[in-house]
Amino acid sequence: MDTTALGVLLGRYSLGPKHLGEPGPDDAALQVMLLAALRAPDHGGLVPFRFAIIRGAQRLAFADLLERAAVELGKAEAAAALDRERALRAPVTLAVLARIDLGHPLAPGHEQWMAVGGAVTHLLTAAHALGYGGKMLSGSKVRSPNVVAAFCAPGETLVGWISLGTPLRAASPGHTKRVPDGLMADWAGPDASG
Amino acid sequence: MDTTALGVLLGRYSLGPKHLGEPGPDDAALQVMLLAALRAPDHGGLVPFRFAIIRGAQRLAFADLLERAAVELGKAEAAAALDRERALRAPVTLAVLARIDLGHPLAPGHEQWMAVGGAVTHLLTAAHALGYGGKMLSGSKVRSPNVVAAFCAPGETLVGWISLGTPLRAASPGHTKRVPDGLMADWAGPDASG
């Protein structure tokens, strides 16, 4: 792994629970990741997020919760069991809770969501820099009433979960992203449209 | 500056146009920053953003546009002149255009906004790693009809502008962020609320 700053920024990739093993990040590593999250741009400094750590014995309660939610959402038993398995596998999972104030006078809602995305990005990149792998996961379960009740305080939105652990495999060449055309081009000026 | 990966992630700070000088990032540097932006988590790989580069002689047209928008928004002449000055000062400015598909079956709108925020974050952190400073700016001008018409293709939202250049000063201790309480704590389990 290229451990320079640019190497880490350009080399980060998502690694799901099935490719993660022990150990997960300890308290010291999680604290560094949180500090990195707080360094992402955040208009107005609202810190519109928090993280709930799921580890150790709590993984079982988390797995039960997700399996039940999957069944309630009409998933087949095998698919629900897979959700359970995934929830158990990552050594550490962080639930991502957003706290969006849609009436904020300075930062509109979409800027607050951008701040949440920036924080998650920096957190995952810091995990990568520390030698851990991880991935942000979401899906319809984040809107399942029992799951919401188990994570959210009033006014909070459950965004999803960040699985974290030690990578069981390196990035494959398939992780190299193609750059879509036209992503960065000179402004055509005020009289052109677009 | 601490140039290690963690040093860059924990040391990034926003630096506005008045603290930026020549040179700005050249094409090679902008390309690296774009590649870093593409490494941020992006559910579904939608790449819901693009960047328009404002540099060189186009800065004058950009400054005219922002000054006029400020006047139209009812700003005093001195404030409008300051907007003009800011637009001229940064060697390179990137307009950030979001392309949000609210009907996407996999990634809801807020996840797409998170992807935009992650991309902007990684782009700014890569700029920092390359020795440049920058800041994401927005405000009511992003909704000014003439400004929108000058930047947006159909379906796009103008998020704001990233000012980029060479830092004219280092980070002051004031840039060290306090960590709010309760930002990361163990999950209380399914039966506790929150």
Is the residue at A18 inside a domain?
Answer: yes
For residue B19, the SS3 value is: helix
Burial B69-80 (b: 16+ CB within 10 A, else e): bbeebebeeeeb
Report the CATH number at residue A48: 3.40.109.10
What pLDDT, on a 0 to 100 scale, did the predictor assign at position B180?
Answer: 84
Token representation of residue B83:
């907007």
Q: Is B46 on the interface with A (CB under 8 A)?
A: no
**Whole-number Å distance between alpha carbons of A94 and A52:** 5
Taking the CA of residue A89 and the nearest CA in chain B, the distance in Å comes to 17
CA distances, A97 to each of A138, B126, B170, B190 (Å): 12, 27, 33, 15
Please check the confidence at residue A4 and state whether its pLDDT lies above 50: yes
For the stretch B10-48, pLDDT in tens is 999 999 999 999 999 999 999 999 999 999 999 999 999
CA nearest to B98 within chain A: A110
Is the residue at A149 inside a domain?
Answer: yes
- Among B residues 61-120, those touching chain A with beta carbons less than 8 Å apart: 61-62, 64-65, 94-95, 98, 110-111, 113-118, 120
What pLDDT, on a 0 to 100 scale, did the predictor assign at position A164?
Answer: 98
What pLDDT, on a 0 to 100 scale, did the predictor assign at position A74?
Answer: 94
Count of alpha carbons within 13 Å of A26, Cβ hemisphere only? Answer: 2
What pLDDT, on a 0 to 100 scale, did the predictor assign at position B123?
Answer: 98
Domain span including residue A148: 14-170
- Report the amino acid identity of residue A53: I
Q: Give the residues of chain B that fall short of pLDDT 50.
A: 194
Strand segments (E) across B120-190? 133-137, 157-167, 184-186
Is the residue at A121 inside a domain?
Answer: yes
Return the HEC string of chain A.
CCCEHHHHHHHCCCCCHHHEECCCCCHHHHHHHHHHHCCCCCHHHCCCEEEEEEECCHHHHHHHHHHHHHHHCCCCHHHHHHHHHHHHHCCEEEEEEECCCCCCCCCCHHHHHHHHHHHHHHHHHHHHHCCCEEEEECCHHHHCHHHHHHHCCCCCEEEEEEEEEEECCCCCHHHCCCCCCCCEEECCCCCCCC
- Binary contact (A190, B61; C-beta < 8 A): yes
Q: Percentage of chain A surpassing pLDDT 70?
A: 95
Please indicate, yes or no, whether the overall pTM of this predicted structure exceeds 0.80.
Answer: yes
What pLDDT, on a 0 to 100 scale, did the predictor assign at position A194?
Answer: 47
For residue B181, the SS3 value is: coil
Where does the pLDDT of residue A52 fall: very low under 50, low under 70, confident under 90, or very high at 90 and above?
very high
Domain count, chain A: 1
What pLDDT, on a 0 to 100 scale, did the predictor assign at position B194?
Answer: 47
Is the residue at A188 inside a domain?
Answer: no
Average pLDDT score over residue span A91-111: 97
CA distances, B194 to each of A74, A95, A149, A154 (Å): 26, 11, 7, 8
Please check the confidence at residue A7 and state whether its pLDDT lies above 70: yes
Find the range with the poorest average confidence among A55-64, A77-86, A107-116.
A77-86
- Report the amino acid identity of residue B169: R
Is the residue at B192 inside a domain?
Answer: no
- Binary contact (A14, B138; C-beta < 8 A): no
For the stretch A10-32, pLDDT in tens is 999 999 999 999 999 999 999 99
Is the residue at A147 inside a domain?
Answer: yes
What ipTM, to 2 d.p.? 0.95
What pLDDT, on a 0 to 100 scale, did the predictor assign at position B191?
Answer: 83
Token representation of residue A74:
């009409």
Of B14, B47, B194, the CB nearest to A180: B47
Is the residue at B2 inside a domain?
Answer: no
Please check the confidence at residue A81 and state whether its pLDDT lies above 50: yes
- Report the amino acid identity of residue B31: Q
**Angle at Cα A137 formed by Cα A51 and Cα A100, nearest 5°?**
45
Is the residue at A191 inside a domain?
Answer: no
For the stretch A126-171, pLDDT in tens is 999 999 999 999 999 999 999 999 999 999 999 999 999 999 987 6
